[in-house]
C-alpha cells in the first residue's frame, strides 16, 4: 500500500515501513508526527482519489535531521570583473513512515 501526501508543500509518495526525506520539519528525533491527510491511496490495485483529500492520516517518526548536498550558485558579468560564488545546503528531515490510515 502506498499514498500520495502533501509534506511541507511537496507531494510525496510514501509507503509503510520505509523512510522519506522531507523539508525540515519541526520536532525532535524520536517524535511521532502526523504528515497530513492523503491525497491518493493504492491498496493492492484499488486506487482511491480524494477531492482534494481523503480521510486517511499518515503517521511517521523523525529519525534524524540532515543536510542535503551543496548547491553552488555562480554569478558572473562578462568584461566587468564581477564574479560571485554562493553555496547552499538544504535542511532535510528523515522520517520513517509508521502507518497509512
> What CA–CA distance (Å, rounded) separates 28 from 79?
50
Q: Residues of the chain with pLDDT > 90: what percent?
A: 74
Do residues 56 and 6 touch, judged by C-beta distance below 8 A?
A: no
Phi-psi region of 40 (alpha: psi -120 to 50; beta: other; left: phi over 0): beta
- For the chain, how many structural domains are there in total? 1
DSSP reduced 3-state for 55: coil
Q: What is the mean pLDDT of residues 58-68?
A: 95
**Which among 89, 92, 93 is positioned nearest to 70, based on CA atoms?**
89
Q: What residues contact residue 24 under an 8 Å CB cut-off, 6+ apart?
A: 8, 65, 91, 92, 93
Say what the pLDDT of residue 44 is.
86
Q: What tens digit of pLDDT does each residue of 72-82 get?
A: 999 999 999 99
Q: What's the whole-model pTM score?
A: 0.79
Say what the pLDDT of residue 22 is.
93
Residue 85, domain extent: 2-100
Amino acid at each position: 500500500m502506498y499514498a500520495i501526501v502533501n509534506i511541507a508543500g511537496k507531494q510525496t509518495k510514501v509507503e509503510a515501513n520505509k523512510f522519506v526525506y522531507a523539508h525540515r520539519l519541526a520536532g525532535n528525533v524520536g517524535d511521532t508526527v502526523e504528515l497530513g491527510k492523503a491525497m491518493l491511496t493504492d491498496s493492492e490495485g484499488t486506487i482511491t482519489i480524494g477531492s482534494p483529500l481523503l480521510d486517511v492520516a499518515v503517521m511517521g517518526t523523525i529519525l534524524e535531521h540532515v543536510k542535503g548536498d551543496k548547491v553552488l550558485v555562480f554569478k558572473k558579468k562578462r568584461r566587468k570583473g564581477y564574479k560571485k560564488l554562493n553555496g547552499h545546503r538544504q535542511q532535510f528531515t528523515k522520517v520513517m513512515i509508521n502507518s497509512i490510515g
